[in-house]
Structure 1
Amino acid sequence: MAIVLGPNRYGKAETRLVRVARDGDTHTLTDLNVSVALAGDLTATHLTGDNSAVLPTDTMKNTVYAFARDGVGEPEAFGLRLARHFVQTLGHIDTATVTIESYGWQRLGPHSFQRSGDLTRTATVTVNPAGTQVVSGLSDLVLLNSTASEFHGFVKDRYTTLSETSDRILATAVNARWRHTGADTDWAGSFDGVRDALVSAFVNTYSHSLQQTLLSMGSVVLHRCSEVAEVRLALPNKHHYLVDLAPFGLDNPGEVFMAGDRPYGLIEGTVTRDDAPAATADWYM
């Protein structure tokens, strides 16, 4: 039996970067979590410990900070700068993937800020021999409809206890990733457009299932945002259970609920254009 080295990569994970742009008395804050992964001809270091082709991961961290000195801009643009740098300067590296989480801060004054906890913006840039791929995203965008949602007509077997309902709370924490058709766009405008499309579709879809809502959300994004090739969504169903107040001599006309934590339903799916350009690298939620 032959044993061979399979696909591999290495890098520096979760380099925390905070940059303050000082424009006179008014400052701008950028808060990122940057991960770099490189792949290429790295066989020697695995087989013999020969590190002559290994760029230290500490150097990758330093590169992130050095590049930030010239400005960061949008996460996608910063990721493109870094990924292209590693591929262009390291002859034995053919693939660089830069993944960025961007944390929002709300301005309170010229130099005062409050951390925004509504969502986390993400970007993953991959540069490889097949081309350049940019995937933007967001996580933990919590949305809730207090009505306009039903769930009935589902499969029932001997273990089914869930009752059908024609009126329920529908809530989720949206985790979305979308692949761009190219590597040159208005990243900030595109992110705002996709986020607004996701929210609009959730608000305006009368839902018979969270699956139906997922397709509606992805479809609205593709209709509104021509720069997006496909959308991947993971929607946890944040269950809300009507509390039985009868033991206290009280009715509950759909007003008092217990918010469930776990377990939860998880609905996942991809919505794509039939003429979308093929992906040049694997990408996941």
Structure 2
Amino acid sequence: GKTKQDIHQALLARLESEQETEFQQALIEIYRIARFRLADIITEKGETQMKRTMSYGKGNVFAYRTFLKPLTGVKQIPESSFAGRSNTVIGVDVTCEIGGEAFLPSFTDGDNTLVVATDSMKNFIQRHLASYEGTTTEGFLHYVAHRFLDTYSHMDTITLTGEDIPFEAMPAYEEKELSTSRLVFRRSRNERSRSVLKAERSGNTITITEQYSEIMDLQLVKVSGNSFVGFIRDEYTSLPEDGNRPLFVYLNISWQYENTNDAYAFDPARYVAAEQVRDLASTVFHELETPSIQNLIYHIGCRILARFPQLTDVSFQSQNHTWDTVVEEIPGSKGKVYTEPRPPYGFQHFTVTREDAEKEKQKAAEKCRSLKA
């Protein structure tokens, strides 16, 4: 697992060792060689080597950058006013996890010869934000993954998760006119976007094995136009049917590209921004007479795929946090009073595929033809 230069440096260092120290080190090396040869023999006989979990890394690597290249040229869609990001100030919280057979001795023998300290990982990520010339978190993770594997040839895999730390421009009163400040921003406490990238080395080739983008903890409430009726009623059912209820949902929405290069905004027109996904979800929620959260997320997914054909699928993790009613009727008002729901909450997991979107498109076309007839 070492280069010629590594071996040369180790020999120079170990020439100064005492005889007993070198004897014990030699035994460790012999044990290691024996283990490698035994594993090879087992594999040659057609038996599968045990796959172990072996990785380590660094979490909560915070990095902030001012005046990153702006994101421009994104595809415009009817449901969103998003046209790009100035990137005047950006933040990202990165988790880095690396793996490889070369790190096995650090676990089994306490041999740190090939260990890259997690503090070094932190510094590597933060300093490479300065040299990154792209416009998105997805692109930054792609850039850092390749730099890591190029720099440390004994790493086999790397997984990077980057959670955006959003900043919003504040109002500014300039020249007797209210406008948007180009200098002052506030840190947003709303939904967060996140990107995940996994890469592995095969010979001299670096392959992206997984990439997806995600918007997390999007909290939306629609005060009417939602129902929940027709479900199974038996001796365990205490929930009343409701033909017009408020609906408060938490949404995590993730999306994958058919071509992962589209995620890095090399061609901004094929990049899907989290802001657009957020606005699409809100628009569908507004338009739909919602019979259930399951049906809501299905239609959100189909709309996203209709707008962005470069995506293969959209996945949801949703939760129902609809408020409990306290006051049913308020004289002279159509309003009600609610409180937080009791702790148990419902949740849903679902993936909307390209095939689902095509079926909905066909259904819409058939409905249109029937209306014309």
How does the TM-score come out when normalised to structure 1?
A: 0.84
Quick check: 1:235 aligned with 2:318?
yes
Distance 1:176 1:162, change over 3 A: same
Contact 2:191 2:215 in 1 (8 A): yes
Quick check: 1:6 aligned with 2:52?
yes
Quick check: 1:32 aligned with 2:102?
no
- Secondary structure of the 1:117 match is coil
- Secondary structure of the 1:235 match is strand
Quick check: 1:159 aligned with 2:236?
yes
In structure 2, the partner of 1:190 is: 272
In structure 2, the partner of 1:210 is: 293
Give the CA RMSD over aligned residues: 2.8
Contact 1:141 1:175 in 2 (8 A): yes
Q: Find the aligned partners of 1:59 and 1:22 in 2 and give their Cα distance.
A: 23
Structure 1: which amino acid aligns with 2:153? Answer: G
1:235, CA displacement in angstroms?
Answer: 1.1
Contact 2:218 2:278 in 1 (8 A): no
Contact 1:145 1:203 in 2 (8 A): yes
- Secondary structure of the 2:189 match is strand
1:251, CA displacement in angstroms?
Answer: 9.0
Q: Find the aligned partners of 1:20 and 1:157 in 2 and give their Cα distance.
A: 59
Quick check: 1:76 aligned with 2:138?
yes
- Secondary structure of the 2:190 match is strand
- Secondary structure of the 2:123 match is helix
Structure 1 unaligned segments of length 5 or more: list them: 276-285
Contact 1:34 1:98 in 2 (8 A): yes
In structure 1, the partner of 2:225 is: 148
1:66, CA displacement in angstroms?
Answer: 1.1
Please point out which of 42, 63, 68 is paired with 1:17.
63
In structure 1, the partner of 2:128 is: 67
1:120, CA displacement in angstroms?
Answer: 0.6
Q: Which has the larger radius of gyration?
A: 2
Structure 2: which amino acid aligns with 1:9? Answer: S
Larger helix share, 1 or 2: 2
Distance 1:261 1:57, change over 3 A: farther
1:131, CA displacement in angstroms?
Answer: 3.0
In structure 1, the partner of 2:351 is: 270
Distance 1:258 1:27, change over 3 A: closer
Contact 2:164 2:194 in 1 (8 A): yes
Structure 2 unaligned segments of length 5 or more: list them: 1-49, 70-85, 171-180, 357-373
1:144, CA displacement in angstroms?
Answer: 1.5
1:194, CA displacement in angstroms?
Answer: 2.8
Q: Find the aligned partners of 1:235 and 1:203 in 2 and give their Cα distance.
A: 17
1:140, CA displacement in angstroms?
Answer: 1.6
- Secondary structure of the 2:339 match is strand
Return structure 1 stretches of 4+ with deviation > 6 angstroms.
249-252
Q: Find the aligned partners of 1:200 and 1:262 in 2 and give their Cα distance.
A: 29
- Superposed CA deviations along residues 88-139 of structure 1, whole A, max 9, x for unmatched, are 2322222211100102111122321112222111111111258313211111
Larger strand share, 1 or 2: 1
1:167, CA displacement in angstroms?
Answer: 0.7
Quick check: 1:258 aligned with 2:258?
no
1:202, CA displacement in angstroms?
Answer: 2.2
Q: Find the aligned partners of 1:123 and 1:85 in 2 and give their Cα distance.
A: 18
1:30, CA displacement in angstroms?
Answer: 0.8
Contact 2:197 2:211 in 1 (8 A): yes
User: What number of residue pairs does the alignment pair up?
Assistant: 269
How does the TM-score come out when normalised to structure 2?
A: 0.66
Query: Aligned ranges for residues 57-136 of structure 1 at < 5 Å?
Result: 57-71=118-132, 73-108=135-170, 109-128=181-200, 129=202, 131-132=207-208, 133-136=210-213
1:52, CA displacement in angstroms?
Answer: 2.2
- Secondary structure of the 1:80 match is helix
Structure 2: which amino acid aligns with 1:149? Answer: N
Structure 2: which amino acid aligns with 1:210? Answer: I
- Secondary structure of the 1:150 match is strand
Q: Find the aligned partners of 2:92 and 2:63 in 1 and give their Cα distance.
A: 5
Structure 2: which amino acid aligns with 1:221? Answer: I
